[in-house]
């Protein structure tokens, strides 16, 4: 049986922190605020995978109240989501994700993002799509206050 899951995440910008998206550090004057590395793209994908297998979200598995995981790489979160899927006999077929940001430009970083995400999920980069769009100046994302991401995971369950 093929199932799908939807993931969404958003984080506000903060000064003095690197910007990590899809496991890639992107040059920018601010990073994203969060308990982990605040990688909204990886968080959205992890939630999509977890949703596709009927599991609770990343906040359950990686609570922001746990000081032991402060600053954790979100690629580790993706690995755990993939391991939970495999433990259920599932195979991740594909990922389709979109980053929503006014800046910085995401396009030059898409291929390394796809490689890192695919590596964490144990699948070929060709089955991971990463796209980007702006919010056309609308809302908090449009004002450049943060970055959001959404993702869909297609998963084959036994």
**What share of the chain has pLDDT > 90, as a percent?**
93
Averaged pLDDT, 83-108: 97
Give the model confidence (pLDDT) of 33-85 as tens digits.
999 999 999 999 999 999 999 999 999 988 889 888 888 999 999 999 999 99
CA separation (Å) from 107 to 24, 76, 112, 130, 146? 12, 24, 10, 9, 17
Structure tokens at 117: 């995400």
Q: Which residues pair with 6 in a beta bridge?
A: 152
**Would you tell me which CATH number, out of the four given (1.10.287.70, 3.30.1330.50, 3.10.20.600, 1.10.3720.10), belongs to the domain 2-156?**
3.30.1330.50
Would you give the DSSP letter of residue 140?
H
pLDDT of residue 68: 85
Taking the domains of the chain in order of start, what are their residue ranges? 2-156
Helical residues (DSSP H) of 53-94, grouped into ranges = 58-61, 74-87
Is residue 134 predicted with pLDDT exceeding 90?
yes
Residue with tokens 């799908």: 4
Residue 69: per-residue pLDDT: 86
Region of residue 99 (left: phi > 0; alpha: psi -120 to 50; beta: else)? beta
Indicate if the pLDDT at residue 115 is higher than 90. yes
**pTM for the complete prediction?**
0.97
Residues 44/132, Cβ–Cβ less than 8 Å = no
Q: Tokens 């898409």 sit at which residue?
A: 110
What counts of helices (H) and strands (E) characterise the chain?
5, 7
């Amino acid at each position: 049986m093929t199932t799908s899951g939807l993931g969404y995440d958003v984080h506000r910008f903060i000064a003095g922190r690197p910007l990590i998206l899809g496991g890639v550090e992107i040059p920018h004057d601010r990073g994203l605020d969060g308990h982990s590395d605040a990688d909204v793209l990886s968080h959205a994908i992890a939630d999509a995978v977890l949703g596709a297998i009927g599991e609770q979200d990343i906040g359950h598995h990686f609570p922001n109240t746990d000081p032991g995981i402060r600053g954790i790489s979100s690629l580790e979160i993706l690995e755990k989501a993939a391991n939970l899927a495999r433990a259920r006999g599932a195979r991740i077929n594909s990922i389709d994700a979109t980053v929503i940001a006014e800046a910085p430009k995401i396009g030059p970083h898409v291929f390394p993002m796809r490689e890192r995400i695919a590596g964490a999920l144990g699948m070929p980069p060709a089955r991971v799509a990463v796209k980007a769009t702006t919010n056309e100046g609308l809302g908090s994302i449009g004002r450049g206050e943060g970055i959001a991401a959404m993702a869909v995971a297609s998963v084959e369950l036994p």
